[in-house]
Amino acid sequence: MKHILTLVALILLSVTTYAHTLNSDPPVKTMKTNSVQHIVLFKFKPETTAAKVKEIVAAFEALPSKISQIKGFQWGTNNSPETHAHGLTHAFILTFDSVKDRDDYLPHPAHKAFGGIVGPWIDELTVVDFTNQAK
């Protein structure tokens, strides 16, 4: 009888835990209020090889280790089913704690050096920054 009660208790615990996860909202990670998101979108020139794109991405990925103001770095390639990318293929999002940190990043020698690496291969470049307003 003791084993049956233990088994029933385990089953009830499992069911209630599962039911709780179905009704819970997914966790939301919010960025720091007033943080700055620096969004960079690239369209490469047609002659840019896959190896060159890989080299450029690696150089961009190295910037957070060289520029302390960069607090977050993400990137990916466009996979939107919508047809509004205008040929832009690569997206990068850098997070800064403040407008001042972003402004310090822009003239940083490592950022300028990266511009020299990527510049000759870019057909179109879009940059949009915003300060987080979410609370």
Question: Residue 83: pLDDT above 90?
Answer: yes
β-strand pairing of 90-96 with 122-131 = unpaired
β-strand pairing of 36-44 with 70-77 = unpaired
In this prediction, residue 69 has a pLDDT band, given cuts at 50, 70 and 90, of very high
Spatial neighbors of 52 by CB under 8 A, at least 6 apart, are 121
pLDDT in tens, 22-52: 555 555 445 567 899 999 999 999 999 999 9
pLDDT in tens, 115-132: 999 999 999 999 999 998
List the domains of the chain with CATH numbers: 36-131 (3.30.70.100)
The pLDDT score that the predictor gives to residue 26 is 52
Using CA atoms, how far residue 106 sits from 67, 77, 96, 99, in Å, is 10, 23, 11, 11
Cβ burial 112-121 (10 Å sphere, 16+ → b, else e): eebeeebeeb
Q: What percent of the chain lies above the pLDDT cut of 70?
A: 76
Question: Residue 21: pLDDT above 80?
Answer: no
7 compared with 127, residue with greater pLDDT: 127
37, amino acid identity: Q
β-strand pairing of 90-96 with 36-44 = antiparallel
